Chains A and B, each alone.
Chain A
């Protein structure tokens, strides 16, 4: 193994090998990332940096390594999306209403990471309450993607809602990061920043301690630079959690084990409904290329149909806001979070605290959600959407009788400029058109960087698997990664800034 000269260029797997074999200390590695984070402030990828804690954790890891007591992620610095509650470290969910909230508890997923020896660099910026596809709804300002279009200085979005995590991974500000994905919030930013992101099967990672957006859809997952790194991090994040009623009681497999097994004999489904009108030809071309890569490695390509695909996004925009309207009712200024001053009475306190505490996208979704659940509209909207969800899930079940994994584009296009799509909510929502189906059906989905647009911006391909078959998804993802040989990295323009 030849290691990169700059430790921040390590993959998670490289760093694991280097740290555990004492080629580099965790403190040295962590120190390099702390500096990188600091230097990358123009990207606004972090809401809270925790350098002191990072170095302390690194020192503790070095002490364990000295004793030969090495855990799976010993001494490896990660960034945590600011939706995961971290004990004693401010957790904002990108919102003004939680801008001073310091949880007295640690989310199960982040606790799993610390138990595995990982080091926390800080909390990454995100769309407010994970509602957004561009990281522009954050109360702490938008994240700027490290990527720029060729011959352009325009600031691009990193995707969202896990935009800070995606930008951090793409800009080598951490070895890997956690994300959460309700309608595409891991896979879409991963795709537009040239990184790898997997949303596991619903129930694979515990939701306990993650600020809820839409409970039936939310799922945590890793954001990394390679498919192998995703396999490593997913193993550490996933668990069976007695504190989460929707955490599924299945042992967590070793996702790395079968990673290089290849795709020979696997049937790869191509869902014809993912070919949408008006999509850039580059997207279609990349998709065909992806299928070709897999065929060349011995996979069988089969066309399948997911007839209700076009209804997934509108279904999502009923179900997710409905759940969110209820999940966000707890932010009332009473027990924690922003409280408005000079409230006349309790109702005034609620209305003002929430009015001041939530941004406009969150308000919009709370109102939509409240409306679709309200008396007289429940059947027409919410109940119908839940029925559509049954049909969408059934589509996948039927498709998986003919294939093992589905291959689709990850996004309908590359990153766009900051401010370009903020005027029209629906056009913004369309960014999730290829990712949202997977959340509705609870299936695992992986975004793998597969190429650049003519303008030099990354694009990804998505692999969708059967429930709890992350291993096969990652294995096929590894095959795509190998074939795509995506080595492009953004220029570090922010260091000059």
Chain B
């Protein structure tokens, strides 16, 4: 499998990455280089093999239903590039 320019544009859109037009063709080459190289995984028969979900062999730990966090609105805003009255501000979103 390999990607073309349209595919690269589509996945860049999906990943919300601005990609200058002159970077599209080189990216096609780079991605295909990687994809052709990972193609060797097809050699392996994986029939009946379960995908690995985690290397950790224990029960999922759970927290108690207790409020232990929050009330940090000031700290949340410290790094906010757009922040006002404890809201994060973004360009108008049209639904």
Contact = CB atoms under 8 A, between A and B. Distances in A.
A and B touch in the complex (CB under 8 A): yes
Interface of A: 100-102, 104, 202-203, 216, 242, 245-246, 248-249, 308, 310-311, 314-315, 317-318, 325, 329, 332-339, 343-352, 354-356, 358, 363-364, 366-368, 370-371, 374, 377, 380-381, 383-391, 393, 424-426, 441-442, 467
Among A335, A364, A391, the one with the most B-chain Cβ atoms within 10 Å of its Cβ is: A335
Among A308, A338, A386, the one with the most B-chain Cβ atoms within 10 Å of its Cβ is: A386
Among B11, B14, B55, the one with the most A-chain Cβ atoms within 10 Å of its Cβ is: B55
Given A335-B79, A364-B31, A246 B54 contact: yes
A363 B56 contact: no
10 contacts: A104-B78, A314-B40, A314-B41, A335-B76, A346-B91, A346-B92, A366-B15, A384-B46, A386-B51, A388-B41
Interface residues of B, number: 53
A497 B42 CA distance: 51
B67 interface: no
Interface string B1-37: 1010001100111111111000000010011011101
B66 interface: no
Interface SS majority for chain B: loop
Contact of B91 (A246, A317, A344): A344
Contact of B41 (A333, A351, A384): A384
Interface SS majority for chain A: helix
B38 A367 contact: no
Contacts of A333: 81
B80 A367 contact: no
B53 to A, nearest CB: 8
B91 A242 contact: no
A371 B79 contact: no
B48 to A, nearest CB: 9
B17 A367 contact: yes
A377 B1 contact: yes
Nearest to A316: B38
Nearest to A376: B1
A370 B11 contact: yes
B79 A336 contact: yes
**The 6 nearest A-B residue pairs measured at CB:** A355-B18, A442-B55, A386-B51, A336-B79, A339-B81, A350-B16
Contacts of B80: 334-336
Contacts of B49: 387, 390-391
Contact of A102 (B19, B27, B46, B79): B79
A355 B18 CA distance: 5
Contacts of B17: 351, 354-355, 358, 363, 366-367
B27 to A, nearest CB: 7
A364 B28 CA distance: 10
Contact of A371 (B11, B58, B60, B94): B11
A367 to B, nearest CB: 5
B27 A311 contact: no
B31 A368 contact: yes
